[in-house]
Structure 1
Amino acid sequence: MDSNIVSAVAVAGPAVSHGLHPWDLFMNADWIVKSVMLMLLAASVWCWTIIFEKLFNLRRLNGLADRFEASFWSGGAVEDLYDRIHTQPPDPLSAVFVAAMREWRRFAAKHGDGAATATDLADRVERVMQLTANRELDRVERYMTFLASTGSTAPFVGLFGTVWGIMNSFSAIGATKNTSLAVVAPGIAEALFATALGLLAAIPAVLAYNKLSRDLDRYAGRINGFAGEFMAILSRQLEDRR
C-alpha cells in the first residue's frame, strides 16, 4: 500500500509542476478567468506605457521650461521673445507667456494705455494665463486617472477571477468526489494566478501615480509661479505708463 501511494505521488508530482507554469495556468483556466487575466495583462501593459510616457515627457517639458526661463530672464525684450515663439510655443510655460502677450497686445492696441483700461488689461491677461495654464496642464495630466483607477480596482478584478476559479475547483471536487491535491491544486493555482496578475497591475500603477502626481504638482507650481511673476512685471509696466 505504501508503495502504491509513493508511486501515485511520483506520477502526480511532475503533472502538477507542469500544470503550474503560467502559460498552462492561463490555457487551462475557465473562459471567464481567462478574460480577467487578459484584462489585467492589458491594463498592466497600458499602465507601463503611460508611466514611461509621463516620465520622458516631464523631463522634456522641464528642459524646455529651463531654456524658456533662461531666455525670458536674460534681459532681452519680451516682445522679441514673443515674436520668436508666438506661432508655435514648444511647451506649456511658453504657451502661457504667448497667450498673455497676445492678449496684452490686442487689448492695448484697441483700448490704449489709460488708467481705466490698465486694470481691465491686467485682469484679462491674468484670466487668459490661468485658462491657458489649466488647458495645458490638463493635456499633460491626461491618462493619470487610468493609473489611479487601475491601482484601486485591479486587485478586486483579480479577486473576482480568484473567486470564480475556486468555485470551479469546488465544482470539480463535487463532480469527481475526489479531494486529492492533484484534483484541487490546478484550479486553485489558476485562481491565485488571477490575483497575482491583479497585484502586478495595481502595485506599479499606485507607486507611479504617487510619484507622477508629485512631479506634476511641482510642474504646475512652476507654471503658476511664472504666471504670477509675469503679472507682477506687467503691473509695474502699467503703473509706469500712467
Structure 2
Amino acid sequence: METANLAAAHADVTLWSLFMQAGFVVKLVMIGLIGASVWTWAMVVDKFVSYNRARKQLDSFEQVFWSGQSLEELYRTLSERQVSGMAAIFVGAMREWKKSFERGARSPIGLQMRIDRAMDVTLARESETLEARLSSLATIGSAAPFIGLFGTVIGIMTSFQGIAASKSTNLAVVAPGIAEALLATAIGLVAAIPAVIAYNKFSGDAGKLIGRMESFADEFSAILSRQIDERLQPRAAAQ
C-alpha cells in the first residue's frame, strides 16, 4: 500500500513536474543552464546579423576602393562618417599620412612605419570587435555538460537517500527521482551543443573577415609605400 502511494505520488513525470520536484541545488543548476542556453541563442542571432553586415561592408568598401576613385576624395568622404572594417583601416592610415606630410615628413622609413602601426592598431581593434563575446560560447560549450552532470550527481544522491528512507526499490518509486537528476544533464547538453557549433562557425567566420582586412592592410601599405617614394625621393634628391 505504501509503495503504491509513493508510485502514485511520483506518477507525474512531465518535464515541468520533474523540474518542480527536483531539489534546490538541481533546480539552481537547471535554471543556470536554461539561462546559458538563452544567452547562446541570443549570441547566435547577434553574431549572424553582425557578421553578415560586416561582410557586406567589406564588399562595398572594396568595390569603391578599387573603382579608381582618388584616395584623397575617398578619405574626405569616409572621414566624416563612423566607419568600421577596411574603411576604418583606410581612414587610420590616411589620417597618419596627412598628419605626417603636414608636419614635413622627411624619412620614408619612419613614415611607412607610422602608417603601418596605425593600420595595425585599427586592425587589432576591429578584430577584437568581431571576436567579442565568442569566448562565452566556448565557455558554455565546455562547461555546460559538466554543470549538468553535477546536477545529475546531486539529484541521484538525493534519490538514493529517498530510496533508503522508503525501503523500497520498486521501479515506479525510483524512476521519477532518477529522471529528475538526468534532466539536468539533458539541459546541459541542450545548452552546450549549440554553443560549440556556434563557436566553431563564428570563429571561422571571424577569421575569414580578419584575413580579408589583413590582406587589404598589406595591399594598401604597398600602395602608400610607392606614393611615399614618389613624394619624398625628389625632395631628398633636391637637398
Shared fold, TM over 0.5:
yes
Please report how far the alpha carbon of residue 90 of structure 1 lies from its aligned counterpart in structure 2 after TM superposition: 3.0
Q: Which runs of 5+ in 2 are unaligned?
A: 234-239
Q: Tell whether 2:50 aligns with 1:71.
A: no
Match of 1:149 in 2: 139
Deviation at 1:225, TM superposition (A): 0.4
Aligned to 1:159: 149
1:210 match: 200
Partner of 2:53: 60
1:95 counterpart = 2:88: yes
**1:85 aligns to 2:75 (yes or no):** no
1:188-240 deviation digits (Å, cap 9, x = unpaired):
10110000000000001001111111111000000000000000100111122
Does 1:130 find its partner at 2:120? yes
* Deviation beyond 2 Å, 4+ runs, structure 1: 11-16, 87-91
Rounded to whole Å, the distance in 2 between the matches of 1:236 and 1:40 is 56
Q: Deviations over 1:173-193 (max 9, x none)?
A: 111111111221111101100
What is the identity, as a one-letter code, of the residue corresponding to 1:61? A
Aligned length: 230
* C-alpha separation in 2, matches of 1:219 and 1:89: 19
Q: 1:47 aligns with which of 31, 37, 40?
A: 40
- Establish whether residue 140 from structure 1 lines up as the match of residue 130 from structure 2: yes
Q: Provide the C-alpha distance between the structure 2 equivalents of 1:40 and 1:172, rounded to a whole number of angstroms.
A: 25
- AA of the residue aligned to 1:31: F
Counterpart CA distance in 1 for 2:98 and 2:181 is: 65
2:224 paired residue number: 234
Tell me the residue number matched to 2:109: 119
Give the aligned partner of residue 37 of structure 1. Answer: 30
Matches of 2:22 and 2:47, distance apart in 1: 35
CA distance in 2, matches of 1:108, 1:192: 69
Q: Report if the CA contact (8 A) 1:107-1:121 is conserved.
A: yes
Q: List alignment gaps of at least 5 residues for structure 1.
A: none
Residue 98 (structure 2) aligns with:
105
The answer for the alignment partner of 1:219 in structure 2 is 209
Distance in 2 (CA, whole Å) between partners of 1:139 and 1:87 is: 21
Which range is displaced more, 34-43 or 65-74? 65-74
Q: Give deviations 1:102-122, integer Å, cap 9, x for gaps.
A: 01100111023x3xx211111
Q: State the AA in 1 paired with 2:83.
A: P
Q: TM-score, normalised by structure 2?
A: 0.92
Please tell me whether the aligned partners of residues 141 and 192 of structure 2 are also in contact (alpha carbons under 8 angstroms): yes
1:91 Cα deviation after fit: 2.2
Look up the match of 1:173.
163
| Equivalent residue for 2:189, pick from 196, 199, 221 | 199
Contact 2:152 2:182 (8 Å CA) reproduced: yes
Q: TM-score, normalised by structure 1?
A: 0.91
